[in-house]
Structure formats: C-alpha cells, structure tokens
C-alpha cells in the first residue's frame, strides 16, 4: 500500500498542470482502491460551494458544472463534520442529495473524506461503488492517508485561482493570503507580476555541428550579462551600502569562466547547443539546491534560476519586455532576486510579495535594509489573477490582501498615514533620553547586520549597538571573508557609533542561517550544530573573526564581544579562553587594544537556569528572546504551521526573563534583551519594568519604543508587570497589556501589532 501511495503522490506532483494533477489523482485512487468512482470536489470560497473538479466514473460533462452548498448533500456533511463518512447505501441517508447530471444513480456505496490543509477544509475526496457495501477500515485509512498527502497539491490548485476563474469572474471578494513577514510595514499599490520572459524549461534539445561557434555565442552572452549585473550593482549603490554589494559579487563569481559557464561549455562540447546546455546545467544546480534541507541554501536555487534566465535572454537576443511601473508598485513574483529589485525605479517601489522564498532570501535581506514592506512565502497567491490589481501588503503580519473592501482599505490607509505621521513626530525624540515620566532611564540600542542599518540607527539616536549579527556579511559572500576583509567591515560598524559600544556577536550560523560555502545538513538543525557549537569546533574561523574584531576596534575601544547559543559554562569559558588568546596575539603584533568585555546570549532554556553561573564568569548577559521563545515553547520560529503558538507573552517566557535579570543583577552584571521583544513597545515596557538595563532592536522600532518609555511612569509599569506575572495565559496577557497601554494613551504606538 505504501508503495502505491508513494507512486500516486509522486505522479500527481509531477503532473504538468493542476487540472491534469486532479484528473490523475482521481484515476489513480479509483484504480488503487478498485472502486468504480473517484471524484474530487473542491471548495470555492467565493461561491461557498463544493464544485466537482475531477471524476473518474461520473459523467465528464458534469465536471466544473455540478456543485453543492457547504451543508448540502453528503459532500457537505463530510465538510461540516471534518471527518470521513462511510455508507453502505448513500441513497438511504437523509442528507443524500441526488445530482442527476453526474449519472450517479447506480452507485450505492459512498466514502467521502475531507481534504484538510492548515485546519481548513479545501475539498472532499469521494469514492463510490455500485454494490451496497461498507468500505472496510483499510480502504478508509487509505483514502484518509492519500487525502492528507495530496492536500498540498489541492491547496495549490485551490488557491491558484485558475480553476475557479469562470465561476469567480463576477466575484471580487476580499481575500487574505498568508505568508511570512519579509520586512515590516504596510503598503497599498498596484501589483506588477515579474515573470521570467525567457523560459529555460521550454528550451528544446538540439545538436550542434560547430561547437566553437556555439561557445562563441555563449561567451558573448556572458559578457553582456556580466555587464548587466555590474550596471545593476552600480545602480544599487544609491540605495544600498557597500556591504550589500557583495550580493552582486556572488552573481559575478557564479558567472566566472571557471564556474557555471565552464559546465555549460563542457555540455556544448558534448554536442548540445548553447541554450540546451545552459538549461541542463541550471536545472542540475537548481535541483541540487532545492533538495537541500537547509532553507538558506534552498534560496540559492532562485539565484541560479535568475542567472540562467538572464544568460538565456542574451542567447536568444530578445528585446527585454518593457514593464510599466505604476507610481506605487507592488512587485509580485514566484521568486524575486535582489538584482530584479534593482531593475525598477526605486522611488516607485511600495511593497514586495513572493510566493516562494523566506526571510532568509537575499531579496528579503535587501528589502529590510531598504525598508520596503515585504511578504514572502505567500504560497497560495494566485499570481496571474492578481497582476495589475490593487494589493495591500501587511508586512507586520506577513499577509497580502486582494479585493479589499473600502473599509479595509481605509483602515490600511490610516495605518500607513499614522505610521508616516508617527515617524515624523517621533523624529523630535531623537536626542531626548529614553526616560520614564518619573526619571527612570533605559539604554536603547540597535541591532545591525547590514551597512545600511548604520545610517538609520544614527539618525534615530541609538546609544550603541546591542547586537551586530556578524553572520550577515558572511551570508552575502560565497566564501569566508578574510581577516582583513572582516577588519574593514567591523571597523565600519565600530567607527560611527564610538564612543558608544558596539556588541559584536561571533558567527551564529546553523539553525536557519547557513552559508552556501559551508553547508550544514542536519535532520534537526535548530537542535544541532549551531552558534558557538560550530565556532568552538572551528577555532580557526573563530580566532580569525575575533582577531579581526580586536584589530578593527583599535583607537575606538568600544568593542564588546557576545557569544551566541551558550548552553553551559564550559562553552563560555572555552570561548573566553580563545578570545584571550586572540587578544594576546594581536597585542604581540603591536595592536593597541584593551581586552574587550565578553558576554553571552541567553537564548536556550538551559542558560536561563545557568544565568547566575554564567554571570559570574562573563561581563554581561543579553537575552535573545527570538530563540528563547522558540526553545521554551518548542515552536519553530520560522514554521507557519505553528506560528500562532509562537507567543512571547507566554508566562514561561516572561518568568524566564524575570529570572535572568534577577540572577544577573545578583552578580552585579548588566543585562539586556536583543530579540524582537525589545523592539515591540508593549513587551519592551514589561522588560523595562523587570529592571533590564538595555534594549536592543531594529532601528525602525527605536523611536517608537522611546516614545512609549517617555509616556509612562514606573509605578504604572510595575503594577502592570505584577498583574501579568500572576496570569497564566499568554493570549490573555498579550490582550491585557495592549488594553492597558491603549487606556494609558499608547494605542498609536502599539497598534501595528493589531493591524487589520
């Protein structure tokens, strides 16, 4: 049975389009179960009906025409009950609804199972048979299993829009498509679909006689593509820092004669024409990347695909499609690469949405740096249907809204206007202290990674850097940066903030952050070789990085070094020992720097309970609430399936935070928070009430948090904290805090979390 199941799923997944996938599914399930009918009804949300979309055994002319209301007939019952209905004689059931057009008269036995996806009923899979008999347990189990396995295909079919196009033609109901936030902010604009004009997959196989002429064609195309990338990099300089330019270097290196092109040339020499050879090489690389478990490496498939498209475009010497960009443009595509972003007039770019990709894609990194509201991984977005339509991008929550009602649109227009207004109003706080009405101060710092973060941070009056994610410059390259390259990058971080401190975290890779040139393949990466575990196993990488940091700080002495993913005092001691060694080395080389303060991140539950022991050994602690929440609640921070469970107001998180600050202060050591909680005014205030010394956040949240701090007093905050610490439900806590802050006049500052 398992083999049959696997075969069906594989075949269906390989079907060329969705209607064929559904047909195939019906046919194969009918054959595998030896029944007479297998039908697939899909739920059409705008019609609120189940539509017969494929059938083997019922009349073909009924397909696409016959439908049932959501509570109509046995199909409706399966949907309502969200469980299988297995009947010996369907005709005898009171809910049976006879559909003459289908020709189902002779079929008595009925088994229907719901097709569920993320808790929603997408459709109903039905098998029927002439003989009045109950389908047995194993048949029922088979149908349930196949339905669960095929639900992703059906989810795609369901959402692609194409299936229901005719039925929907007159309907324009508001629809919300869920994805992941790539960059926060809200935007309204007109969707422009970016699709590859040159389609590699359609290139046929052809043989060539004149191999050299074909190689000549390829070389010419490559020269033009390299120039195109250089031009884009030049254009990007205006909106991106020098650091992000490394993205384009990666592209250029892929186009180096010895990289991808060498493989294409080898294929041409085997007798293939250039276009076909290119398709084979690109396909192989894309396939390899896509098979990788690591989400970051999977993203590289998009880069290779994009390059392949560009080279093919030149080989085909087609004129580029001239795209009309509206004034407020929402770029939409399956994958949008960072260079594609640069191809459009920047001043018109309002938002971005992609159906693939994740927060780790290069494009998302660049979008965050540019402050463009972005939603990624919006799998169900019917791209072709939405081209040219007005869309709302809710980058706060990772959603896209199409056909918004006037009310919804008004609401988002208000949010956008308020955001603008708020930011303009907040600018006057730049040089004022982050201090409560009764004089309690807290230090507000920024999290940085890209060079572009620096200017935005300084403009907003950051008091130093609480977390510099050093892995970001490593991620945008295709090899480890050298000690000297690192020194230069780090100096650019340290110089503008001096005399304020800059907390540089040592390389934190593994989990969801990988380097294409240092792949880590694991079953369970978040519980695997991550952060300090990797660098302690590779002192040659760790020491080079620390040496670069120390050298970079010469003359400023504002460096602090922070260790990620610490779970035991042993790791902290081991790392301190290596840092000390690196310090002695650079001193011997004549670099005049003091030994910098060294601290650890508290981001796994073990370190919460080791906080005191750790505080005794290091100079400071900083809580990484992103990982701490994920590990305390056992909720993957990047998994959409469980994103509703990821709640930083969970009592376990709040009590852990309280424990850490108490332990650190018992040892007289400063402690900060550098996860997303620090940048959310509501949680930031609770953290302040706990007694934390500093908060470190994205530059875009800094003034918002400062404004919140300046509008409250410590009496109010302590009372609020005590109240929530006595509560046992994270959802209730989150709503209660929002309510209390709104009552205290801070609604405007906290609203972005509740938008829409």
Q: What residue ranges bind ligand PEP (CB under 6 A)?
A: 467, 469, 508, 603, 624-627, 674-675
Binding partner of residue 679 among Mg ion, ligand PEP, none, CB cut-off 5 to 8 Å per kind: none
Q: What is the distance between the alpha carbons of residues 611 and 600, in angstroms, rounded to a whole number?
A: 10
User: Smaller CB distance to Mg ion: residue 182 or 510?
Assistant: 510
Is the preceding omega at residue 499 within 30 degrees of 0, hence cis?
yes
Q: Which of these segments, 233-241, 600-608, 646-654, 677-685, binds Mg ion (CB under 5 A)?
A: 600-608
Sheet architecture: strand order including 85-87: 67-69, 49-56, 37-44, 120-129, 109-117, 85-87
Q: Which of these segments, 220-228, 445-453, 605-613, 624-632, binds Mg ion (CB under 5 A)?
A: 624-632
In the complex, minimum distance from the CB of residue 695 to ligand PEP, in angstroms, rounded to a whole number: 12
In the complex, minimum distance from the CB of residue 531 to ligand PEP, in angstroms, rounded to a whole number: 8
User: Smaller CB distance to ligand PEP: residue 62 or 623?
Assistant: 623
In the complex, minimum distance from the CB of residue 71 to Mg ion, in angstroms, rounded to a whole number: 47
In the complex, minimum distance from the CB of residue 146 to ligand PEP, in angstroms, rounded to a whole number: 38
Token pair for 677: 């909680």
User: Smaller CB distance to ligand PEP: residue 422 or 618?
Assistant: 618
In the complex, minimum distance from the CB of residue 366 to ligand PEP, in angstroms, rounded to a whole number: 18
Query: Following CA atoms 65, 66, 68, 69 in sequence, which dihedral angle do they give, to the nearest 10 degrees?
Result: 20
β-pairing, 443-448 vs 120-129, is unpaired
User: Smaller CB distance to ligand PEP: residue 463 or 508?
Assistant: 508
Q: What is the DSSP letter of 406?
A: H
In the complex, minimum distance from the CB of residue 668 to ligand PEP, in angstroms, rounded to a whole number: 24
Q: What is the distance between the alpha carbons of residues 476 and 364, in angstroms, rounded to a whole number?
A: 12
- Asked if 47 and 72 touch (Cβ cutoff 8 Å), the reply is no
User: Smaller CB distance to ligand PEP: residue 357 or 675?
Assistant: 675
State the residue for tokens 């159906």.
Answer: 355
Q: Name the catalytic one among 329, 378, 443, 674.
A: 674
Taking CB atoms within 8 Å and a gap of at least 24, the contacts of 612-616 are 612/663, 612/664, 612/666, 612/667, 613/569, 614/566, 614/569, 614/572, 615/663, 615/664, 615/666, 615/667, 615/669, 615/671, 616/667
| 466 in contact with Mg ion (CB under 5 A) | no
Residue from 81, 80, 143 nearest 110 by CA: 143
In the complex, minimum distance from the CB of residue 509 to Mg ion, in angstroms, rounded to a whole number: 11
Residue from 387, 357, 393 nearest 374 by CA: 393
Interface residue with Mg ion, options 627, 676, 680, 693 (CB under 5 A) = 627
Token pair for 254: 């892929």
In the complex, minimum distance from the CB of residue 99 to ligand PEP, in angstroms, rounded to a whole number: 54
362 is catalytic: yes
| 730 in contact with Mg ion (CB under 5 A) | no
Q: What is the distance between the alpha carbons of residues 237 and 243, in angstroms, rounded to a whole number?
A: 10
User: Smaller CB distance to ligand PEP: residue 306 or 471?
Assistant: 471
- The torsion angles phi and psi of 131, rounded to 5 degrees, stand at -60, 140
The gap from C-alpha 6 to its chain's centroid, in whole angstroms, comes to: 29
- Asked if 575 and 538 touch (Cβ cutoff 8 Å), the reply is no
Binding partner of residue 104 among Mg ion, ligand PEP, none, CB cut-off 5 to 8 Å per kind: none
Q: Name the catalytic one among 362, 443, 650, 752.
A: 362
β-pairing, 443-448 vs 694-697, is parallel
Interface residue with Mg ion, options 79, 182, 624, 681 (CB under 5 A) = 624
- Asked if 277 and 222 touch (Cβ cutoff 8 Å), the reply is no
674 is catalytic: yes
Q: What is the distance between the alpha carbons of residues 678 and 311, in angstroms, rounded to a whole number?
A: 45
Alpha-carbon distance values, 707 to 124, 184, 692 (Å): 52, 19, 18
User: Smaller CB distance to Mg ion: residue 358 or 755?
Assistant: 358
User: Smaller CB distance to ligand PEP: residue 583 or 631?
Assistant: 631
Binding partner of residue 674 among ligand PEP, Mg ion, none, CB cut-off 5 to 8 Å per kind: ligand PEP
Q: What is the distance between the alpha carbons of residues 257 and 271, in angstroms, rounded to a whole number?
A: 19
Binding partner of residue 467 among ligand PEP, Mg ion, none, CB cut-off 5 to 8 Å per kind: ligand PEP
Q: Looking at the annotation, which residues are catalytic?
A: 362, 674
Binding-site ranges for Mg ion (CB under 5 A): 603, 624, 627
């Amino acid at each position: 049975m398992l083999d049959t199941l696997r075969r069906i799923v594989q075949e269906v997944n390989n079907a060329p389009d969705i209607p064929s996938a559904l047909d195939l599914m019906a046919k194969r399930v009918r054959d595998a179960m030896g029944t007479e009918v297998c039908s697939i009804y899909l739920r059409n949300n705008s019609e609120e009906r189940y539509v017969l979309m494929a059938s083997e055994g019922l009349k073909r002319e009924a397909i696409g025409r016959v439908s049932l209301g959501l509570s109509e007939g046995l199909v409706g019952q399966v949907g309502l009950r969200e469980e299988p209905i297995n009947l010996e004689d369907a005709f005898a059931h009171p809910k049976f609804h006879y559909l003459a057009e289908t020709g189902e008269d002779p079929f008595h036995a009925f088994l229907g199972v719901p097709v569920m996806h993320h808790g929603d009923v997408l459709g109903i899979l039905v098998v029927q048979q002439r003989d009045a008999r109950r389908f047995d347990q194993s048949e029922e189990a088979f149908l349930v299993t196949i339905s669960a396995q095929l639900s992703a295909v059906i989810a795609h079919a369901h959402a692609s829009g194409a299936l229901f196009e005719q039925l929907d033609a007159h309907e324009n109901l508001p629809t919300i498509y869920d994805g992941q936030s790539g960059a926060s902010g809200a935007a309204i604009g007109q969707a422009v679909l970016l699709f590859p004009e040159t389609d590699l997959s359609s290139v046929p196989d052809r043989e060539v006689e004149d191999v050299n002429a074909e190689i000549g064609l390829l070389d010419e195309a490559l020269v033009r593509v390299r120039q195109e990338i250089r031009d884009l990099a030049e254009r990007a300089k205006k909106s991106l820092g020098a650091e992000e330019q490394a993205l384009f270097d990666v592209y250029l290196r892929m186009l180096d004669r010895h990289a991808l092109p060498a493989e294409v040339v080898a294929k041409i020499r085997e007798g293939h024409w250039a276009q076909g050879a290119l398709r084979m090489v690109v396909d192989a690389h894309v396939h390899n990347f896509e098979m990788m478990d690591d989400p970051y490496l999977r993203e590289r498939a998009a880069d290779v695909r994009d390059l392949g498209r560009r080279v093919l475009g030149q080989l085909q010497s087609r004129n580029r499609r001239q795209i009309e960009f509206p004034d407020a443009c929402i770029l939409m595509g399956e994958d949008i690469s960072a260079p594609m972003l640069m191809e459009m007039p920047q001043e018109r770019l309002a938002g971005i949405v992609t159906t693939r990709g994740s927060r780790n894609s290069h494009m998302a990194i660049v979008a965050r740096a540019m402050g463009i509201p972005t939603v990624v991984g919006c799998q169900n977005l019917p791209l072709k249907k939405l081209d040219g339509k007005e869309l709302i991008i809710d980058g706060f929550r990772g959603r896209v809204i199409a056909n918004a009602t006037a009310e919804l649109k008004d609401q988002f227009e208000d949010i956008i206007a308020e955001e603008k207004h708020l930011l303009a109003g907040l600018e006057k706080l730049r040089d004022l202290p982050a201090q409560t009405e009764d004089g309690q101060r807290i230090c507000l710092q920024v999290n940085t990674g890209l060079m572009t973060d620096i200017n935005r941070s300084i403009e907003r009056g950051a008091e130093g850097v609480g977390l510099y994610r050093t892995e970001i410059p490593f991620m945008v390259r295709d090899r480890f940066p050298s000690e000297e390259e690192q020194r230069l990058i780090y100096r650019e971080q340290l110089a503008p903030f001096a005399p304020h401190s800059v907390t540089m975290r040592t390389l934190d890779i593994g989990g969801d952050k990988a380097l294409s040139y240092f792949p880590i393949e694991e079953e369970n990466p978040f519980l695997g070789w991550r952060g300090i575990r990797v660098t302690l196993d590779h002192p040659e990488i760790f020491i080079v990085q620390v040496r670069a940091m120390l050298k970079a700080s010469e003359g400023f002495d504002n460096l602090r070094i922070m260790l990620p993913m610490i779970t035991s005092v042993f790791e902290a001691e081991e790392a301190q020992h290596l840092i000390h060694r690196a310090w002695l080395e650079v001193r011997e080389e004549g670099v005049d720097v003091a030994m910098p303060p060294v601290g650890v991140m508290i981001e796994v539950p073990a370190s919460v309970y080791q906080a005191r022991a750790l505080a005794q050994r290091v100079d400071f602690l900083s809580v990484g609430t992103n990982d701490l929440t994920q590990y305390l609640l056992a909720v993957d921070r990047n998994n959409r399936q469980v994103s509703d469970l990821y709640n930083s107001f969970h009592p376990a998180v709040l009590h852990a935070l309280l424990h850490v600050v108490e332990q650190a202060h018992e040892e007289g050591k400063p402690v900060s928070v550098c996860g997303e909680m620090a940048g959310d005014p509501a949680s930031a205030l609770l953290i302040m009430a706990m007694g934390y010394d500093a908060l470190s956040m994205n530059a875009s949240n800094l003034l918002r948090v400062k404004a919140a701090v300046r509008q409250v007093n410590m009496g109010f905050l302590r009372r609020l904290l005590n109240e929530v610490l006595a509560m046992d439900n994270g959802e209730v806590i989150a709503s209660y805090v929002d309510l209390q802050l709104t009552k205290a006049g801070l609604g405007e500052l906290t609203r972005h979390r509740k938008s829409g």
